[in-house]
Amino acid sequence: MELITQEQALAETPLKAGERAHLFTNRRFDGLEFLAATFRTHAYAPHAHDTYAIGTILSGCEIWHARGRRLYAGAGDIVLNHPLDVHDGAPSEGGYRYRMSYPTVGLMRELAASLAPGRPSGTPFFREPVVHDSEGAALFATAHRLLEEGPDALAGEEALLRAYAAMLVRHADLQIRDIGRERGPVDLARALIEARHDEDLSLAELGAATKLPRHHLIRAFRRETGLTPHAYLVDVRVRRARDRLRRGEAPSAVAAATGFSDQAHLTRAFKARFGVTPGVFRAAHLS
């Protein structure tokens, strides 16, 4: 069977009224495809990809065939198709909404190696093509939504890696290995974040600088600091914003100067840490 992209699979059957399909890519994952869709009648013909097809059902139920079985996936389920798995897909009565992604073999091998450093890491194999995992499904859906809609690219990058890693640990018989202390690399990553907090940093950049794979860096950073790299970046930005607000700078200018996407983004992060909005904080220091 010919291997096709998800865009080609969608194009084979036009969408009907009430259906939507948003296919998008992300540069932080080398053009990895993502799909957010609502299908009422749309059905896929049997096809296969040279990537994994991993996602979750948000509502309704999807029926499909894969690995010689008729399968059903509903809310809270995770769909785990392997590369070259021939599969179709159709809605049950009422249709379904879902979020899917198509990670490469290389990316999944990278994650498997970061979870079990020093052990042989072939192509990860998921035992079942569909599993019920409400927590894992929520992790993935949040990451997918951040990559589709969120202004904070690092948040989406980190969240997706953590979601995929959770799936590998829970559903691919991957025995996680504890990591050693990585104080030197983590200190270097912290210094880079402090110095470049106003930039659009990526885990790939931090990983290249520290010589650590992306997910390994997330785990090591959290072990050393109690925060993930993204959480630490937001904390640095808020602290820098606080200093500027004390000097009387306007919140909109402060947001732009400290790396936030807009004033609303700054306000949410600032209030979560200090209990007041940037405007109230600034006014208190001007009175």
pLDDT higher than threshold 70 for residue 120: no
Q: What is the tens place of the pLDDT at every residue in 94-105?
A: 899 999 999 999
**What pLDDT is attached to residue 118?**
62
Q: What is the tens place of the pLDDT at every residue in 157-172?
A: 999 999 999 999 999 9
pLDDT higher than threshold 80 for residue 273: yes
How much is the mean pLDDT over the chain?
92
Greater confidence (175 vs 236) lies with 236
Q: What is the mean pLDDT of residues 106-133?
A: 86
**What pLDDT is attached to residue 146?**
95
Q: What is the tens place of the pLDDT at every residue in 134-163?
A: 999 999 999 999 999 878 999 999 999 999
Across 159-194, b (16+ Cβ under 10 Å) vs e yields bbbbbbbbbbbebbebeeeeeeebeebbebbbebbe
For the beta carbon of residue 259, count every other beta carbon within 10 angstroms: 22
Distance CA 160, CA 2 (A): 29
Burial label, 250 (beta-carbon count in 10 A; 0-12, 13-18, 19+): middle
Band of pLDDT at residue 106, cut at 50, 70 and 90: very high
